[in-house]
Chain A
């Protein structure tokens, strides 16, 4: 069970946009439209930000958007705000024998 590949860190200034990538294979990210993204502030419960590649749950700001091309999914955070500083994890379905694969996580810093 190999983790999906995310950059360990990303950063941007307030108001800027930043994109976090999540690279897998045709057996996970590329094979299914079941990529989701989670925001995790240390010590708190992780929060669903994007599901099914690009859908946003009710209550999540439209500054967060998701996309996928081939074996790579992406999360874009636009109009960066201080509270966006957190760890972000992607997740993909990878088949019935290996249903959940997480990315290694990306620490987003708002400069």
Chain B
């Protein structure tokens, strides 16, 4: 059974940086396309970005609101996904989920999320 466990959330001041991690198990991580999705307080789910498997080029795509401020990476030797967030804004506050793509454009597995709070 797939398991995704996020960590690294916390309080940060506007303009600060944070790196989130997602430890994966129960599936072949190196073959997986992975994504980050967030949910602001009282709001819906919002896609943040994704990273392809190394065999698919290991390239990334980002949502417009975060492009230029975030970077998604992976360490297949550690079965771990990362989200580096810079120049954080108050509107980046929310729960951040990592998600594992299925064989098409859908998210087969999700973590329980880690909370990021950006406030002065």
Interface centre among A45, A91, A99 (most CB of B within 10 A): A45
Q: Report A21-44 residues with CB < 8 Å from chain B CB.
A: 32, 34, 36, 38, 40, 43-44
Residue of B nearest to A99 (CB): B61
Is there an interface contact between A1 and B64, defined as CB atoms closer than 8 Å?
yes
* Cα distance, A40 to B99, chains bound together (Å): 14
Partner of A91, one of B63, B107, B112: B107
Which candidate, B8-16, B44-52, B83-91, is the interface stretch facing chain A? B44-52
B108 contacts the other chain (CB 8 A): yes
A33 smallest CB distance to B (angstroms): 9
A38 smallest CB distance to B (angstroms): 7
* Cα distance, A48 to B97, chains bound together (Å): 14
B25 smallest CB distance to A (angstroms): 14
A73 smallest CB distance to B (angstroms): 12
B35 contacts the other chain (CB 8 A): yes
* Cα distance, A74 to B30, chains bound together (Å): 34
Is there an interface contact between A105 and B44, defined as CB atoms closer than 8 Å?
yes
Is there an interface contact between A1 and B63, defined as CB atoms closer than 8 Å?
yes
Partner of B44, one of A43, A92, A99, A103: A103
Size of the chain B interface, CB-CB below 8 angstroms = 24
A70 contacts the other chain (CB 8 A): no
A102 contacts the other chain (CB 8 A): yes
Is there an interface contact between A105 and B102, defined as CB atoms closer than 8 Å?
no
* Cα distance, A99 to B33, chains bound together (Å): 13
Contacts of B113 in A (CB 8 A): 45
Is there an interface contact between B35 and A100, defined as CB atoms closer than 8 Å?
yes
Contact with A along B13-39 (1 / 0, CB 8 A): 000000000000000000000010100
Contacts of B105 in A (CB 8 A): 32, 34, 36, 91-93, 99-100
A68 contacts the other chain (CB 8 A): no
* Cα distance, A45 to B106, chains bound together (Å): 15
Contacts of A100 in B (CB 8 A): 35, 47, 50, 63, 105
